Structure 1
Amino acid sequence: MSDDYYERLVDEDALATYLEDHLGEVDRYEVERHQEGHSNETLYVAWGDRNLVIRRPPPGETADTAHDVLREYRVTNALVETDVPVPEPLLACEDHGVIGSDFYVMERLDGVVIRDEEPDRFADPASRRRIGEELVDTLASIHDLDYEAIDLGEFGYPEGYTERQVDRWGQQLMWAFDVTAEEREVPALYEVGAWLQENRPDEHPHALVHGDYKLDNVMYGPARADGSRDERAGGTREQPELIGVFDWEMATLGDPRADLGWMLSYWRDPKDPEPVIPELTSTFMEREGYPTRRELVDRWESRTGYAFERERFYRALGVYKLAALGEMFYRRYLEGNSDDPMYPKMEDRVPALAERATRIIEGDEPL
């Protein structure tokens, strides 16, 4: 990361002043950029004996509400007292004079995010199955929430959510195409968008939806300090426990089946073709023990009472959204608004995603 880009992310002196005003003076202060994210920026802050996280949008122009971190703060704050595990939010700031954008501060959880490879302590069939079960059970818990009871009744407009999703992501694509079309076109995405418009459901259940729910947006608990084992896992392994759900910037009230379709777009089955975006796709869940997509769907249906109807629509919508995000990444790269090494690869990856969405639509990549 260049020094210039980091300076656009955070003014360390101004941030220190803000934190002192709200959390008190400390002797220890360090800031580190978290490199794994590809959307909003995440900064780790050591503030005395506390470990904090700051979330802010990337610098430069962004499309509509795709990076609304204060929205993320609001929903996280509402979920603290529920069964959905989230980090504790501490502060929200709209003063762009501090670090140049809206941002919020939360406590940092201690655990493991399973991204590129499974932890050795979970590398057995029972633990693998529990990873998938915890993932889908927590999603079901989000969808089962009484959102009115936690003061989120006006957090969105669930009626017509799915129609708006198709429209919105089409608009995000058009925003990106304004710049990226000068480099290359992706005509298949117009065809996918048209199919989604024609096949979207007229009605759907209403629930709180995360909007970006997937394995690397949750955290599992750390290894036990005493080295103890869980008897339910045969006394030889620790039972994976999901302790935090992150990245709520796209949360709203809407169609829970869209969340499920998005999660499934990242989940691999052993029968699947090679991933089209290896940088964003882990394949370890093809190993023995991990639930299949069909098993995850069955478990979600049994816990929510909802049927995953029109599954090709929701899975194709998930890949269409991923393609739109990739094209937005590519635009930011072309405009010099990111130093993420993955962004320029979207020149080829987005057309490959369009092909994947087409395979799902045509039944060539089944559930």
Structure 2
Amino acid sequence: MSDDHTELPGLDLERLAVWLADTRPGLVRGPLTGRLIAGGKSNLTYEIGDGTSAWIVRRPPLGHVLATAHDMAREHRVITALAGTGVPVPATYALCEDTEIIGAPFYVMERVLGTPYRTATELEALGAERTRVIAEGLIDTLADLHTVDPIAVGLQDFGHPDGFLERQVRRWKKQLDASYSRDLPAADELHRLLAKHLPAQSPTGIVHGDYRLDNVLVDDTDRVAAVIDWEMATLGDPLTDIGLLLVYQRMSDRGMIGVSDVALAPGYPGESEVLDRYSTRSGRDISDIGFYVALASFKLAVISEGIYFRFTHGQTVGSGFEHFGAGVEPLLQAGLSALQN
């Protein structure tokens, strides 16, 4: 591992090593070193190793967080449950809910080698043919996730699927109200129409919650080696995942700042191809996809407005946050258009 060090923010490697020796004897065979892979407001991800083997540790962000938003046991549970299904996930080794060990709950899982592609430039370097293979793998993997029977893998109580769509509409309106700093008539209209046009829910399945190309690891054969970042997973209407994937693709096409632009790479399938491939493989009815696109547009608009709200109130550190405000209105208009088509 590069940039190895023994002192990491939020992870005491000595205490972790003692706990692992007791919990999984023989797993670690030498002093641990590590590095922070991803940090911020999402769960923190570390790569640790003993000089021979390497693993991944996940824990909540530093500081006060909502337990429900960063529930290590839930994330560990869904990954563990999916082992042995057609959905590629890392193997899990241990879950610790004792906050005395490193100061927060955490779990240890397999380090899967692969690339989370984030930009069209990265895909362009591979060529159109490989890009298509990767994108088709992304779609197929999502369809496979949505064909898993939650009861068969022991996840029957993992969420509350009844009334899922109605709760989503209500939840994101409540979130918007908490970030209210300017008039957004389109947001009020989009919320009204979403509440009015709730479709019959698609059969219950496992929802990833933030499915996109940079939340999967692609190996050197262009195969999806693992789906990662399960912190928003639940049981509900799986079509919310495909709706969100389409909105990410539309945002990419429009060159919105802060959004992965992978869909611009030559070879990346168009929206109709994505839908056709997904529906064929999953067997799900996508005739109401306009609602799911509108809901995803509303969700991302609310998230963007929240980021912009915190920026205008001096509650963010870093650059680029000023652009999030400009992306809200286009998302709202896209949501309205999706419901009218």
Q: TM-score, normalised by structure 1?
A: 0.80
1:274 to 2:274 alignment = no
Matched residue count: 332
Q: Which region of structure 1 is more displaced relative to structure 2, 349-358 or 136-145?
A: 349-358
Alignment of 1:20-31 (within 5 A): 20-24=21-25, 26-31=29-34
Counterpart among 266, 276, 283 of residue 305 in structure 1: 283
Partner of 2:101, secondary structure, is helix
The 2-side partners of 1:59 and 1:335 are apart by 21
**CA apart distance, 1:316:** 2.2
What are the superposed Cα offsets for residues 233-285 of structure 1, whole Å, 9 maximum, x if unpaired?
Answer: xxxxxx52111001112112211110100111212599x4331xx22322x42
Query: 1:262 touches 1:318 (CA, 8 Å); kept in 2?
Result: yes
The 2-side partners of 1:322 and 1:191 are apart by 16
Change over 3 Å in CA distance of 1:29–1:111 after alignment to 2: same
The 2-side partners of 1:334 and 1:98 are apart by 38
Query: 1:327 touches 1:346 (CA, 8 Å); kept in 2?
Result: no
**CA apart distance, 1:174:** 4.0
**CA apart distance, 1:326:** 3.9
Counterpart among 225, 231, 240 of residue 222 in structure 2: 240
1:357 to 2:339 alignment = no
- Other-structure match for 1:54: 57
Counterpart among 308, 315, 328 of residue 293 in structure 2: 315
**CA apart distance, 1:12:** 3.5
**CA apart distance, 1:108:** 0.6
- Other-structure match for 2:202: 204
- Other-structure match for 1:14: 15
Alignment of 1:78-93 (within 5 A): 78-93=81-96
The 1-side partners of 2:254 and 2:315 are apart by 33
Query: 1:319 touches 1:353 (CA, 8 Å); kept in 2?
Result: no
Q: Which amino acid aligns with 1:22?
A: T
Change over 3 Å in CA distance of 1:147–1:261 after alignment to 2: same
Structure 2: tracts of 5 or more residues without a match: 1-6
- Other-structure match for 1:229: none
What are the superposed Cα offsets for residues 59-103 of structure 1, whole Å, 9 maximum, x if unpaired?
Answer: 234356222222110000001111100001111111112222221
Alignment of 1:54-73 (within 5 A): 54-63=57-66, 65-73=68-76
1:290 to 2:293 alignment = no
- Other-structure match for 2:3: none
Alignment of 1:112-123 (within 5 A): 112-117=115-120, 119=122, 123=126
Query: 2:48 touches 2:57 (CA, 8 Å); kept in 1?
Result: yes
> Which structure's relative contact order is higher, taking Cα pairs within 8 Å and 6+ residues apart?
1
**CA apart distance, 1:289:** 1.6
Partner of 1:44, secondary structure, is strand
Change over 3 Å in CA distance of 1:364–1:310 after alignment to 2: closer
Query: 1:68 touches 1:250 (CA, 8 Å); kept in 2?
Result: no
Q: Which region of structure 1 is more displaced relative to structure 2, 185-194 or 249-258?
A: 185-194
Structure 1: tracts of 5 or more residues without a match: 1-5, 223-238
**CA apart distance, 1:153:** 1.6
Q: TM-score, normalised by structure 2?
A: 0.85
- Other-structure match for 2:166: 163
The 1-side partners of 2:338 and 2:157 are apart by 38
Q: Which region of structure 1 is more displaced relative to structure 2, 114-123 or 260-269?
A: 114-123
Change over 3 Å in CA distance of 1:14–1:253 after alignment to 2: same
Q: Which region of structure 1 is more displaced relative to structure 2, 299-308 or 61-70?
A: 61-70
Partner of 1:358, secondary structure, is helix
The 2-side partners of 1:11 and 1:120 are apart by 37
Change over 3 Å in CA distance of 1:47–1:280 after alignment to 2: farther
RMSD between aligned residues: 3.0
Change over 3 Å in CA distance of 1:102–1:8 after alignment to 2: same
